[in-house]
Amino acid sequence: MAIPRFLLKESIVAREGFSRWWVPPASIAIHLCIGSVYAWSIFNPALIREFGVVAPAPGDWSLGSVVWIFSVAIVFLGLCAALAGKWLEEVGPRCVGVTAAFCWGGGFVVGSIGIVTHQLWLVYLGYGVIGGCGLGLGYVSPVSTLIRWFPDRRGMATGMAIMGFGGGAMIGAPLIDWLLHLYYVAPTYLGPAADVALTTQGGAQFADVNGTATEVVLVTAADVPRMIVPGPEGVYVVGTGNTGAAMTFLTLGIGYFVVMMVASFIYRVPREGWKPAGWAPPSEAESSRRMITSGNVHIDQALKTPQFWQLWVMLCFNVTAGIGVIGVAKTMMTEIFGSTLPGIVDGAFAATYVLMISVFNMCGRFFWASISDYIGRKNTYHCFFVLGTILYLSIPFTAQAVSANPAVMWLVMFYAATMVIFTMYGGGFATIPAYLADVFGTKYVGGIHGRLLTAWSAAGVLGPFAITYLREMSINNAIQNLAPKVDPAAFQERFGAGLDQLDQLVAANTVTVGRLLEIAPAGTVDPTPSLYNTTMYCMAGLLVIAFFANLFLKPVKPHHFMETEPEREEERHQADVASVRGAPAE
């Protein structure tokens, strides 16, 4: 299909007098839209309660199946960015930005259809695959453009744009939360559990409503903080309410499409040979000291260098360590501190925590990328890996401490540690384009950056897999350890079935750690705050490996660089001289 000429690069070359400061706002606007992917965890409570609404019902999707939607989106972000790298250099940022708007906005619309029809594969296709492609295209569209507009401040320039991606959840999280509440409809309430006769069949619970056995869910005190809109404890009819997720998806898809289209038409590219007034390239001595090359490595040749794969490992492991936490941030905060400090950590607190993740993620992108202009990219990444390792190791200590002694001090320590982690997580993304430009040159940095983002795709699988797999394993172990401590008669009365049906009850979401603790003997230790300890140790180990990959990074060897124009001219001159003398050219 022919691309309209007004979208192509040759049609958006900036005229004389165009201010380069028009480009960053357009880039930030697009990244703010696609950056709402970081607010995905806000959707989790709604998506795993589509039937039950106030609590998960047997037919509802599990958290383990829903969290992978986020992972698929990140995988396709990296794959699409890698494939679109060369295309970006050919058609320019406007065409890529417009395509991103159609994919990201359209992905939400398809996802909303999947939620309405309760077809999980449609949500994966819409938000994960189509939306993920929009993420990749929208992410890479401004990077090489900004580096060319700001050769004097590469780190700051990419930090400005990618800051928007990190800040997307700052706007997206409260917007999503507000829309979910706007479209929320509470299910039919039958009354307190003591007033309703319940039976259990196949792990699910039923109540007699007008002579018909009707599936219901039971909300206890432990469940109230996890409700989308808190309501009374008791029995609710399954399938009679609405979480608001489908309409939220549809509204966001339309809104993001409009904003991204407007921003894409603001994009301009500098003319060949343009440079900022009064700016001179760094001297050879300064470039060597800070490992900044003056040459260019071709996009295909870059993959043949060890430096590319060292940078790939660094980005992958840094992202893996952060992305798993981001994907379940709200759930993790609630599980670690919701039971130990329920008066402080409720649903609103957890939602604010997600918002603050976005704030620190965004600020870290601009802060660390700008700092890298002064201390160098390599030293910046040393900070990420050394400090990050220490902070990840502090989280299990904090979780264990708050379980033994529920004090606000431990919440403050956890909050501070994770926020610093998220600044470095975002800083890694913002600094890597400038690092690539330093190592491989600016000519093909957009395409090379796109291919490096496959590391993000790999991390999008590794991070959530580690955190969800280890979490589910820890939950199952905790339930198996708690169940024998419960009086069998109390278990039978509470769940309408015996301990011999424990596996069925767990699979149907009827038995949870919180509900077992309600009937466990006094003094039973709540295992919930320690569900993520093993994961944090694994993440710290990945950062240690990444540290050594960065430590041993050296400048690219000369034979990988493209020939410069003076070199080609010299070769042509030698060939002419040789032909005149009748001798073959060397």
Q: Give the dihedral of Cα atoms 139, 144, 147, 149; nearest 10 deg.
A: -110
pLDDT at 433 over 90: no
Distance of alpha carbon 373 from alpha carbon 206, whole angstroms: 63
Q: What is the pLDDT of residues 231-267, one digit of tens each?
A: 888 899 988 999 999 999 999 999 999 999 999 999 8
CA distance 445 to 295: 12
Whether residue 269 has pLDDT greater than 90: no
Confidence class of residue 391 from pLDDT cuts 50, 70 and 90?
very high
Which percentage of the chain shows pLDDT scores above 70?
93
Tens digit of each residue's pLDDT (9 = 90 or more) over 443-499: 888 788 888 988 988 887 888 778 778 778 888 888 888 888 899 888 888 888 888
Task: Write the burial class of residue 174 (CB in 10 Å: 0-12 exposed, 13-18 middle, 19+ buried).
Answer: middle
Residue 147 has, within 13 A of its CA and on its CB side, a CA count of 25
> What's the average model confidence in pLDDT over 49-62?
87
Is 350's pLDDT higher than 80?
no
Determine contact, residues 227/347, Cβ cutoff 8 Å: yes
Reported as a pLDDT band with limits 50, 70 and 90, residue 168 is confident
- Mapped onto helix, strand or coil, the DSSP state of residue 509 is coil
pTM here is 0.70
**What pLDDT, on a 0 to 100 scale, did the predictor assign at position 287?**
62
Confidence of residue 352 (pLDDT cuts 50, 70, 90): confident
User: 């796109």: which residue's tokens?
Assistant: 450
Q: Is residue 47 within 8 Å of residue 128, measured between CB atoms?
A: no
pLDDT given for residue 167 in this prediction? 76
Beta pairing class for 189-191 and 204-209: unpaired
Cα-based distances in Å from 70 to 43, 108, 181, 328, 501: 10, 13, 22, 10, 33
pLDDT above 80: residue 222: no
| SS3 labels along 404-460 | HCCCHHHHHHHHHHHHHHHHHHHHHHHHHHHHHHHHHCCCCHHHHHHHHCHHHHHHH
Q: Mean of the pLDDT values across residues 495-516?
A: 84
Model confidence band, residue 271 (pLDDT cutoffs 50, 70, 90): confident
pLDDT bin (cut points 50, 70, 90) of residue 114 is very high
How many Å is the Cα radius of gyration of the chain?
Answer: 27
Between 412 and 324, whose confidence is greater? 412
Residue 569: predicted pLDDT: 47
Q: Is the per-residue pLDDT at 154 higher than 80?
A: no
Q: pLDDT higher for 308 or 357?
A: 308
pLDDT digits (tens, 9 = 90+) for 561-575: 887 544 444 444 454
Look over the chain and give the mean of its residue pLDDT values, rounded to a whole number.
84
Stronger pLDDT, 111 or 204, i.e. the higher one: 111
Mean pLDDT of 63-82: 86
CA proximity to 202, closest of 212, 213, 191: 213
Q: Structure tokens of 364?
A: 């870290």
For the ranges 18-27, 84-93, 204-213, the lowest mean pLDDT is seen at 84-93
Give yes or no for residue 326 having a pLDDT over 90: no
Q: Quote the tokens at residue 394.
A: 């502090």
